[in-house]
């Protein structure tokens, strides 16, 4: 059975994946119908801030760094994943600017937004797959019990203050709002 830390990372990937999937759906719809700009903005905020504030911090500060210096061939993979985290940031900035164009009815904005969302989605699937298939199994093989205990504690309520209640509940709240607002088949709205 996978340990609690790995399960938590997988769970966060599923949440990011669900929002990215929803974005693709609504970006496609926006080619033919006026979009719900507020909903799309909340989705973009989520995929920008959740990884930046919580998810990537957990991976980079605790898992990637624990693997470095263990004599494991993890360095090139970690470098690549880190670069992908950086790319995410520039692409989400582009998506936000393109959403503003879409909201303002700029000619061709829906096509450009959809193309960027598809590109972002493609990068996300590849990135999360690489983390789950390459990096996390390496971590499972090479980190010892003391490492996992330390990471598990850092991710818990009394651990790293960046991961505590307030921060986490902000993103849980955003995720619930997305699910409640988005129409079927993505959400319950
Ligand atoms: Fe990740």
Residue 132 has pLDDT above 70, yes or no: yes
CA of 28 to the centre of ligand 1 (A): 25
* All structural domains of the chain: 4-181 (1.20.120.520)
Angle at 106 between CA 103 and CA 110, to 5 degrees: 70
CA atoms within 13 A on the CB side of 117: 28
Local structure of residue 3 (DSSP, 8 states):
-
Residue 136 has pLDDT above 60, yes or no: yes
d(CA 40, CA 118): 14
Q: What is the pLDDT of residues 25-72, one digit of tens each?
A: 999 999 999 999 999 999 999 999 999 889 999 999 999 999 997 877
CA of 124 to the centre of ligand 1 (A): 9
DSSP state of 183: P
Interior angle at CA 66, CA 65 and CA 70, nearest 5:
110
User: In sequence order, what E strands does 57-98 have?
Assistant: none
pLDDT tens digits, residue range 100-130?
999 999 999 999 999 999 999 999 999 999 9
Q: What per-residue confidence (pLDDT) applies to 58? A: 93
* Helix boundaries (H) for 131-189: 136-142, 145-155, 165-181
110 CA to middle of ligand 1, Å?
28
Q: How far is the CA of 22 from the centre of ligand 1 (A)?
A: 18
What's the CA-to-centroid distance between 103 and ligand 1, angstroms?
30
């Amino acid at each position: 059975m996978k340990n609690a830390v790995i399960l938590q990372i997988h769970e966060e990937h599923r949440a990011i994946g669900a929002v990215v999937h929803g974005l693709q759906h609504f970006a496609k719809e926006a080619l033919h119908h006026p979009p719900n700009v507020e909903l799309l903005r909340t989705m973009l905020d989520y995929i920008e801030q959740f990884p930046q504030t919580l998810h990537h911090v957990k991976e980079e500060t605790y898992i990637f760094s624990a693997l470095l210096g263990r004599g494991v061939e993890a360095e090139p993979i970690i470098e690549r994943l880190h670069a992908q985290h950086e790319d995410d940031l520039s692409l989400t900035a582009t998506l936000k600017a393109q959403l503003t164009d879409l909201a303002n009815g700029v000619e061709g904005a829906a096509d450009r937004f959809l193309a960027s969302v598809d590109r972002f989605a493609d990068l996300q699937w590849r990135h999360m797959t690489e983390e789950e298939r390459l990096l996390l199994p390496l971590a499972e093989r090479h980190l010892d019990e003391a490492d996992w205990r330390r990471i598990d504690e850092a991710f818990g309520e009394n651990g790293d203050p960046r991961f505590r209640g307030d921060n986490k509940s902000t993103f849980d709240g955003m995720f619930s709002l997305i699910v409640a607002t988005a129409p079927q088949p993505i959400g319950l709205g």
